[in-house]
Amino acid sequence: MEESTLIKKKKFQKAETTKTRQRIMGIVFLAIGLFIWFVLSATTPPEAQTLFVMTPGGSSVISPDLKFNSLIVLNIMAGLCVALGIFQIIKGFGKYTNIVLVLVGLMLTVSFLAWAASGTSINVGGMLRIMLMRSIPIVLGALSGILCERAGVVNIAIEGMMITGALVGAMMGSLFGLWAGVVAAIFAGGLIAVVHAVLSIKYKVDQIISGTIINIFTIGLTSYIVTKILQEREWQYLNESGIFMPVSIPILSKIPYIGPILFNHNIFVYSMYILVIVMTIALFQTRWGLRMRAVGEHPKAADTLGINVFRIRYVAVILGGMLAGFAGSYFSLGSAGYFNQSMTAGRGFIGLAAMIFGNWTPVGSFGAGLLFGFAESLATN
């Protein structure tokens, strides 16, 4: 009798939590709609026109531009957000709430751009292309963090693994070619991850302390190498790797609007697409992924079932380090063509934020990475 009452109480508490979340999300949607209405629309002249240029700079595929009345679009977006908010408060979208949240976020973004560019034009195509490029190290860093944290190891050393991968990639790429630089960067990231894994798993050092030590050490080591070696005239050829050039995917790159934005990049963008898909399948559709998540959530139960907890954690951390090294190679081999001490600029930590914002899932982290990348792309317009 007591057990039945406890179960009913838990169900009631869960229902109340769901209801509370439903109302909060509805209020958020409603607030966004009212913000668009009373702030953006109120400061937009009725005759103002906005021009969205949809062709990224340098693209051979010309996409038609979008020209519209700014105030009309703002009012439509505000009305839709308010309607979605009222429906969410009264009835709720259930399992589709997150999708609606993304939709409302997109409407807020379009509204902001329409308001900011009212009476003039803005190259939205170029902005979205830059957004995708800026999101690469953030998304890859988030994927690295997911591999580690799903196995139960916190990895804040991603920044150090990235900067090591960037330096090693630039030096090896200068000596033996770009692909050799990528391989070397992946190996260097994995090597740093081995140190983190041994300290955290074998010797049970506090994972935050271990990651911090690695970050400090790698930043200091790379700075020393740049100062004592790469800045000397006779060794400067070790920091002239060049970059991977963009490769257009046939047919897909010719699609109006999205083709030049999504399918005319170098190998790092395409690798990001593939890794998000592969990791999603590996984590949630394979026995290996199930075991890794079990090790991260209930290590004692996993050990009872005969799963080698230590081995899975070692593999996860090392794979995460290799992924972080690959992310670091993007800076030197996919963007700048050389190594600079400040080129990672905290992207490893931003990747961890994207991982948390994306609910520790590859697809969610990809979306969060795009959001952070979009914020950076605003500075170019």
Q: Could you read off the pLDDT of 299-358 as tens digits, one per residue?
A: 999 998 889 999 999 999 999 999 999 999 999 999 989 999 889 989 999 999 999 989
The token pair that represents 286 in the structure block: 């394979």
Strand, helix or coil at 40? helix
Phi-psi region of 190 (alpha: psi -120 to 50; beta: other; left: phi over 0): alpha
Q: How much is the average pLDDT of 259-278? A: 94
Predicted confidence (pLDDT) at residue 3 exceeds the cutoff of 80: no
The position carrying tokens 């972080």 is: 324
Residue 15 binned pLDDT confidence (cut-offs 50, 70, 90):
low
CB–CB of 323/275 below 8 Å?
A: yes
- Residue 99 — pLDDT band, cuts 50, 70, 90? confident
pLDDT above 90 (res 282): yes
Q: Which of 198, 158, 199, 147 is nearest to 326 (CA)?
A: 158
- The pLDDT of residue 57: 74
Top-confidence residue, 98 or 151: 151
56-63 CB contacts, 8 Å cutoff, 24+ apart: 56/123, 56/125, 56/126, 56/128, 56/129, 56/260, 56/261, 57/123, 57/126, 59/125, 59/260, 59/264, 61/253, 61/254, 61/256, 61/259, 61/260, 61/264, 63/125, 63/256, 63/257, 63/259, 63/260
Place of tokens 């794979």: 319
Mean pLDDT over residues 65-92, rounded? 94
292-312: string of b/e by CB count within 10 Å (b at 16+)?
Answer: bbbbbeebeebeeeebebeeb
Residue 360 has pLDDT above 70, yes or no: yes
**pTM, whole model, 2 decimals?**
0.90
User: 49-53 and 121-123: which strand pairing?
Assistant: parallel
| pLDDT value at residue 4 | 59
Instruction: Please state, in angstroms and as integers, the Cα–Cα distance from residue 216 to each residue in 220, 222, 245, following that order.
Output: 6, 10, 33
Rounded distance between C-alpha atoms, residue 85 and residue 166, angstroms:
45
User: When comparing pLDDT for 234 and 381, which is higher?
Assistant: 234
Q: How much is the average pLDDT of 195-202?
A: 94
Query: Quick one: pLDDT at residue 12?
Result: 47
Q: Tell how far CA 253 is from the center of its chain.
A: 23
pLDDT value at residue 49: 94
Mean pLDDT across the stretch 274-278?
Answer: 97
- Asked if the model's pLDDT at residue 359 lies above 50, the reply is yes
Has residue 148 got a pLDDT over 60?
Answer: yes
Confidence at residue 1, expressed as pLDDT on a 0 to 100 scale: 44
Span 111-131, mean pLDDT?
91
> Distance between CA 220 and CA 214 in Å, rounded?
10
